[in-house]
Amino acid sequence: MSLAASLDPHAPKALAALRVMTGLLFLQHGLAKLFHVPHVAMFDGMNLLSGQIFSLMGLAAILETVGSILFIVGLCTRPVAFMLSGFMAVAYFMAHAPMGFFPVLNQGELAILYSFVFLAFVFTGAGAFSVDAKRG
């Protein structure tokens, strides 16, 4: 039996692990903006729960929080992943690209990586252990 043949049956579980970890890491961004947990000094001046929720940063916080939760549990994974991929592409071009061409210098590597990981889930689906898989 080849290595690929022995690993292929486990691909849906590996995909699920990537989905859950990506979602948990992405969730931190929304929680930091909404509730200041974990504390990120860059967001100290933001108080999204008292009126700023309708700002661009407020929209980002909602997308990051709600989108992450849906992504983690694997509910509507493909449309959520599509939306989050586009959101991260826009975030890159709005916040990072103006600071220079190279992502390593404009600190945009994470935004690009999230965008492409979410884009991959548009095509692969949620993998194992998801609400989508349970619903068929």
For the chain, the straight-line distance linking the first and the last C-alpha, in angstroms and rounded, comes to: 30
Q: What is the pLDDT of residue 54?
A: 77
- Whether pTM > 0.85 for this model: the answer is yes
C-beta atoms surrounding 14 within 10 Å? 12
CB hemisphere CA count around 80 (13 angstroms): 22
**Model confidence pLDDT, tens digit, residues 114-123:** 999 999 999 9
pLDDT, position 118: 98
Asked if the model's pLDDT at residue 56 lies above 90, the reply is no
* Residue 1 pLDDT level (bands cut at 50, 70, 90): confident
Q: Is the dihedral of CA 122, 124, 125, 127 positive or negative?
A: negative
